[in-house]
Chain A
Amino acid sequence: MQSSIPPKLALSSSQLGSLKAESIHIIREVIAEFDRPALLFSGGKDSIVMLHLAKKAVAPAKLPFPIVHIDTGHNFPEAIEYRDRTAANLGIELIVGSVPEAIESGRVTAFAGPGGSRNRLQTPVLLETIRENKFDAVFGGARRDEERARAKERVYSFRDEFGQWDPKNQRPELWNIYNGFINPGQNIRVFPLSNWTELDIWQYILEQNIELPSIYFAHERKVFEREGMLMAVSEFLQPQSGESVTTEKVRFRTVGDMTVTGGVRSDADTLEQVIAEIAIARISERGASRADDRTAEAAMEDRKREGYF
């Protein structure tokens, strides 16, 4: 199987090199200045790249902070397996903030019905996990090219006691000098991959030959179509009447909650082929695969204001 990488990808290694150096600089600043950092890790490609860079930032020492996953309970088993194996291999602590547990204990309430997802429930559980563990800095793998609200986000994003993002009242961020001063109870969300694009992420994965969860590659799966997206049939999501199940060869461009993450039809089963497809894709990764961002024009902005990443 041959597939050539389109010219758009032929970035010189120096361009990727300056992104890597910038990310490592940011990660080192946080480790040097904060008492209790943590890294959000979902088993998705962005958090995988972020963790990979964090390891390099402190090598040959071990990572001096835990990884944290806010688990909706509706995740792809492949991503969960990858998450657990990664933590075990690195010998670092994995802290799981569990949405199902929060529902069971009555701390949050799940929406019912086919449109109800647990996506928004991640926010209170995330805030609770940050509070309980007294994290003062939390790394997230969000990129500014993903979404318009994220384009306005700082590298160091100040959050008050309620985790809120206030876009009109952000700290100016100059040169590569970051202001991480906070009062107790507040925290900084840190985005080391701010300046990376989706293609940069894939190019880094290729360059470093990083293993990914299998759902990023084409595989046969039972799916049904909903609002133009191919949703995976699972114990968490069943077709409604009128939605028919077929077996298709699909891959996923993002890894999220199974009830809101759609796949795309694809034959790409190697990294090179996935990259070739992404380089010519005409639909954004969030538009192609995230129902949560389609619900409203400002869906991400609203969730970020509430404390989401």
Chain B
Amino acid sequence: MNLLRIATAGSVDDGKSTLIGRLLYDSKAIYDDVIDSAEQHSRRQSSEYFNLALLTDGLRAEREQGITIDVAYRYFSTPKRKFILADTPGHVQYTRNMVTGASTADVALIIVDARNGVVEQSRRHAVIAALLGIKHVVVCVNKMDLVDFQETVFRNIQRDLHSLLEELQIKSHHFIPISALVGDNVVAKSGRMDWYGDETVLEHLEGLDTSIFTADSRLRLPVQYVIRPLTKEFHDYRGYSGTIASGNVSVGQEIAVMPAGKVTTIEAIDTPDGGVNSAAEGDAVTIRISHDLDISRGALFCSKYDVSRVDNTVEATICWMSERSNLQAGGMYRIKHTTHTARAMVNSLEFKIDIDSVADTVGCDHLELNEIGQLVLRTSEPLVFDQYSVNRSTGSFILIDESTNETVAAGMIGRPEFIH
């Protein structure tokens, strides 16, 4: 099984931190001294029970205020799999953090409080997961102990959210009734919900097959860095290094070097563990080719017969992330797309996406912090790109404010299919 990257979001009240604390605690990913320190803190706060949420609270300000201010990363592993969990706060103002956590995730963990059912926030999490191209969603219906472990409560939530996930075209979804506080169905099976009889949260995550939705099989390899040792031993060595974004490379394969479109042949593939005959998506490689071409950082190696689009104009969905400024038509930014940096101007702002009503569009003339909108960008140099829905690497970019250097937007090329 591959390493699984999970994104989760939720507020203090729905028990997200308790669920994560439970996953870490029961899978023995937390050391005793860390537990001791949390227990001491628990006692100082005069909590009645050991507060599992304290295991995941990070900074002093967060502990004092009982809030989460940023994305935190957690690590745990079982004999079957290693997990990286991006843990983000779920308040309305933190769309930015949710988008950040979701950008690298294979699966989204959505937590619903059984007493409250599907609320605005649950819908927002589902929409953001869909926007960021997450293919798998696991819905944990938490606090089942507070609704007497009733099946009808669980089934009603499942029905409500099921239709939303279908609408968002998230095809792999799984619902699990849990109690994070007492541990039912998180790592250990619940003895109080015989009507469920399916996998626990951990079992489900361990077995989740992320390869069922086949990724882009076309070669996309952005050139990061050109290696030229200029030593006696490697006098003529010229290698193009990068991480394979999609597809495969093999020695003897013909590839197109974009944006120029010249075709060449792969002569050798070097990897951190030596020379190989072929390599696949996710591998960090150095490619040597048979022609002497002018190739530098920002070029893209593509399958010969199916190359990326080359254009100065791109339509994209963006999430605006700046607290200091708004996005408006005419705005100019640095754009970082794969390994290529250029400048981009906002040609037009088409509409804003209302994520609370599940993807209705609203006309607007600017985007504020945490708002998501559809726009058209014009770039100073052509970008070599694919649609985000097809390729997360060649379809994504960030915008950077040229005066403050802050990252102000996350961009996904194309238009989400579920937009009305």
**A residues touching B (Cβ–Cβ < 8 Å)?**
7-8, 10-12, 14-15, 17-21, 24-25, 28-29, 31-32, 53, 56-62, 144-145, 148-149, 151-152, 167-168, 170-177, 179, 181-183, 194-195, 197, 199-200, 281-284, 287-288, 297-298, 301
Stretch from B118-126, B200-208, B223-231, B254-262 contacting the other chain: B223-231
User: Do B392 and A282 touch across chains, with their CB atoms under 8 A apart?
Assistant: no
Stretch from B9-17, B93-101, B141-149, B191-199 contacting the other chain: B93-101
Chain A minimum-CB-distance residue to B228: A61
User: Do A172 and B272 touch across chains, with their CB atoms under 8 A apart?
Assistant: no
For this complex, 19 residue pairs linking A to B, each with C-beta atoms less than 8 Å apart, are: A12-B2, A15-B2, A17-B283, A21-B283, A29-B224, A29-B339, A32-B225, A60-B231, A172-B321, A172-B410, A173-B407, A174-B410, A175-B104, A175-B393, A183-B405, A283-B31, A287-B33, A298-B59, A301-B59
In the assembled complex, which residues on chain A have CB atoms less than 8 Å from the CB atom of B103? 174-175
The yes or no answer to B406 lying at the interface (CB within 8 A) is: yes
In the assembled complex, which residues on chain B have CB atoms less than 8 Å from the CB atom of A172? 96-97, 99-100, 321, 407, 410
State which residues 78-116 of B face A: CB under 8 Å: 78-79, 81-82, 84, 96-97, 99-100, 103-104
The yes or no answer to B3 lying at the interface (CB within 8 A) is: yes
In the assembled complex, which residues on chain A have CB atoms less than 8 Å from the CB atom of B241? 28, 57
In the assembled complex, which residues on chain A have CB atoms less than 8 Å from the CB atom of B37? 297
Chain A minimum-CB-distance residue to B336: A177
User: B317: shortest Cβ distance to chain A, in Å?
Assistant: 13
The yes or no answer to B282 lying at the interface (CB within 8 A) is: yes
User: Do B224 and A28 touch across chains, with their CB atoms under 8 A apart?
Assistant: yes
**B residues touching A (Cβ–Cβ < 8 Å)?**
1-3, 31-34, 37, 41, 57-61, 63, 69-75, 77-79, 81-82, 84, 96-97, 99-100, 103-104, 224-225, 227-231, 233-234, 237, 241-243, 270, 272, 282-284, 286, 297, 321, 334, 336-339, 392-393, 396-398, 400, 405-407, 410
Partner of A151, one of B72, B79, B224: B72
User: Do B100 and A284 touch across chains, with their CB atoms under 8 A apart?
Assistant: no
User: Do B398 and A32 touch across chains, with their CB atoms under 8 A apart?
Assistant: no
In the assembled complex, which residues on chain A have CB atoms less than 8 Å from the CB atom of B237? 60-61
In the assembled complex, which residues on chain B have CB atoms less than 8 Å from the CB atom of A181? 334, 400, 405
Q: How far is the CA of A286 from the CA of B87 in the complex (A)?
A: 22
User: Do A287 and B405 touch across chains, with their CB atoms under 8 A apart?
Assistant: no
User: B397: shortest Cβ distance to chain A, in Å?
Assistant: 7
User: Do A24 and B284 touch across chains, with their CB atoms under 8 A apart?
Assistant: yes
User: Do B71 and A174 touch across chains, with their CB atoms under 8 A apart?
Assistant: no
User: B41: shortest Cβ distance to chain A, in Å?
Assistant: 7
User: A151: shortest Cβ distance to chain B, in Å?
Assistant: 5
Q: How far is the CA of A297 from the CA of B286 in the complex (A)?
A: 44
Q: How far is the CA of A15 from the CA of B392 in the complex (A)?
A: 20
Known contacts A25-B224, A151-B72, A167-B69, then 16 further A-B pairs from the complex at CB < 8 Å, ordered by chain A residue: A21-B272, A21-B282, A28-B241, A31-B225, A151-B73, A152-B59, A152-B72, A167-B61, A172-B97, A174-B398, A174-B407, A175-B396, A177-B397, A182-B405, A282-B32, A284-B33
